[in-house]
């Protein structure tokens, strides 16, 4: 399963709910305002980094860039992808769960 | 093969999961999502509903919307059985976090812990959220 | 891969329709087929030809129409959600069609993947 999350972890619980309920081994893509969850040095970095062994994390680069965050370091294990990479992830996983 | 299909839907059966994570009334998502569930019943698919996070508030009993002049659609969850939509699951952690128990709910559900719900959700073909 | 796309929000308040459009564009570029884009909830607002954003902003309604024209992508607007929000056939931009919720379930059945964009 590929999970996508689009909410800021500082505003909504989508990121923590996804981390609680996604099955280990899943892919999790942060896009839109959820890209903040992929960054080092935030109040939620440890929460995400602590699950890097359970999930493969991805973050949508164009959404980071739009928010002026392209140069900020992402958490170890988070892969930065573009929209074509997003399409590839959808193809590689058997279903997609969007945490709206 | 296309010629094998007739007016009755007899295509593939997929596991459809409707994930409810939002409370009713504050936004329209719960009401309109329920309409999708009702339509899905006509397609003879393997349909499940899960209620997690604020979605559990959708099925709390004794809802009375007279004072806000909005349609009380909570009874519809009890009617789902008549549409052969019988797989309703609730996450225990979501109930606990909101001070709710099974006795607060208006419809029969299966209560699962996060791990159980995680396994169930991972085994679906199509996940619809709103 | 055959893709179905569900869009739950309108073209301006949320990024959902933009993200869906960028995703769809990338998918088409990679040779995938988009069998249907289904617009539900406030997503039905993506279909109205009366949208008239400032000229220095993108016009998502026109972008979707163009994708329908150039790639034959089916753009289906939920009738029940549209009626509630005052959108009927007279309001539709080119390429959009109003139809029932069954089209969303069918997309889920027929597509290899259904991808949802919303709030």
Interval B31-67: pLDDT, tens: 999 999 999 999 999 999 999 999 999 999 999 999 9
Q: pLDDT tens-digit profile of C21-75?
A: 999 999 999 999 999 999 999 999 999 999 999 999 999 999 999 999 999 999 9
β-bridge mates for residue C48, sequence order: C92
β-bridge mates for residue B126, sequence order: B16
Based on its alpha-carbon atoms, the radius of gyration of chain B, rounded to whole angstroms, reads 16
| ipTM of the prediction | 0.97
Cβ pair C118:B28 closer than 8 A: no
Lowest mean pLDDT among A40-44, A93-97, B1-5, C55-59: B1-5
Cβ pair C40:B36 closer than 8 A: yes
**Domain C2-23+35-117 class, CATH top level:** alpha beta
CA distance B130 to C97: 21
Q: What is the mean pLDDT of residues B57-83?
A: 97
Burial bucket for residue B90 (CB in 10 Å: 0-12, 13-18, 19+): buried
Token pair of A62 as six digits: 């164009």
Closest CA to C71 of C112, C32, C116: C32
> How does the average pLDDT of chain B come out, rounded?
93
**Nearest by CB to A84, which of C3, C30, C114?**
C30
CA distance B69 to B62: 16
Chains in contact with A, where contact means 3 or more Cβ–Cβ distances below 8 Å, are B, C
Cβ pair A87:C117 closer than 8 A: no
Domain count, chain A: 1
Question: What local confidence, expressed as pLDDT, does residue B5 receive?
Answer: 46
Q: pLDDT tens-digit profile of C92-113?
A: 999 999 999 999 999 999 999 9
CA distance C77 to C113: 19
B118 min Cα distance to partner chain A (Å): 5
Q: What is the mean pLDDT of residues A51-61?
A: 98
Residue B10 pLDDT exceeds 80: no
CA distance A94 to C115: 11
Question: What local confidence, expressed as pLDDT, does residue B9 receive?
Answer: 59
Q: What is the mean pLDDT of residues B76-84?
A: 96
Residue C102 touches partner B, C-beta closer than 8 Å: yes
Which residues of C are known catalytic residues?
78
Which domain does A9 fall in, by range?
2-99
- Tell me what percent of the residues of chain A surpass a pLDDT of 70: 100
Fold exhibited by the domain B15-129 = Hypothetical Protein Ychn; Chain: A, (3.40.1260)
Question: What local confidence, expressed as pLDDT, does residue B8 receive?
Answer: 54
**Nearest by CB to A96, which of C15, C16, C113?**
C113
**Nearest by CB to B53, which of A17, A26, A98?**
A17
Q: pLDDT tens-digit profile of A4-39?
A: 999 999 999 999 999 999 999 999 999 999 999 999
């Amino acid at each position: 399963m590929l999970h996508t999350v689009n909410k800021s972890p500082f505003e909504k619980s989508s990121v923590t709910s996804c981390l609680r309920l996604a099955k280990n081994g899943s892919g999790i893509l942060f896009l839109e305002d959820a890209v903040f969850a992929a960054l080092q040095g935030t109040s939620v970095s440890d929460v995400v980094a602590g699950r890097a062994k359970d999930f493969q994390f991805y973050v949508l680069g164009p959404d980071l860039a739009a928010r002026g965050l392209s140069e900020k370091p992402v958490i170890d294990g988070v892969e930065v992808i573009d929209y074509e990479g997003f399409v590839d992830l959808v193809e590689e996983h058997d279903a997609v769960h969007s945490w709206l | 093969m296309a010629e094998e299909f007739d007016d009755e839907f007899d295509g593939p059966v997929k596991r459809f999961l409707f994930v409810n994570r939002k409370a009713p009334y504050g936004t329209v998502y719960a009401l309109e999502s329920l309409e999708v569930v009702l339509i899905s019943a006509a397609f003879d698919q393997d349909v499940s509903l899960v209620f997690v996070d604020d979605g559990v508030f959708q099925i709390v009993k004794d809802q009375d919307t007279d004072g806000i002049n909005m349609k009380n659609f909570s009874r519809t969850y009890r009617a789902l059985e008549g549409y052969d939509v019988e797989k309703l699951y609730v996450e225990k952690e979501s109930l606990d976090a909101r001070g709710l128990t099974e006795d607060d709910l208006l419809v029969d559900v299966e209560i699962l812990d996060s791990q159980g719900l995680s396994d169930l959700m991972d085994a679906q073909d199509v996940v619809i959220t709103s | 891969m055959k893709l179905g796309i569900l869009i739950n929000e309108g073209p301006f308040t949320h990024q959902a329709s933009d993200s869906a459009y960028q995703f769809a564009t990338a998918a088409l570029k990679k040779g995938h087929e988009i069998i249907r884009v289904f617009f539900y909830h406030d997503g039905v607002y993506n279909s109205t030809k009366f949208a008239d954003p400032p000229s220095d902003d993108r016009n998502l309604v026109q972008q979707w129409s163009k994708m329908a024209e150039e790639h034959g992508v089916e753009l289906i607007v939920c009738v029940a959600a549209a009626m509630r929000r005052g959108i009927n056939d007279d309001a539709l931009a080119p390429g959009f069609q109003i139809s029932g919720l069954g089209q969303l379930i069918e997309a889920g059945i027929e597509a290899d993947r259904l991808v949802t964009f919303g709030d």
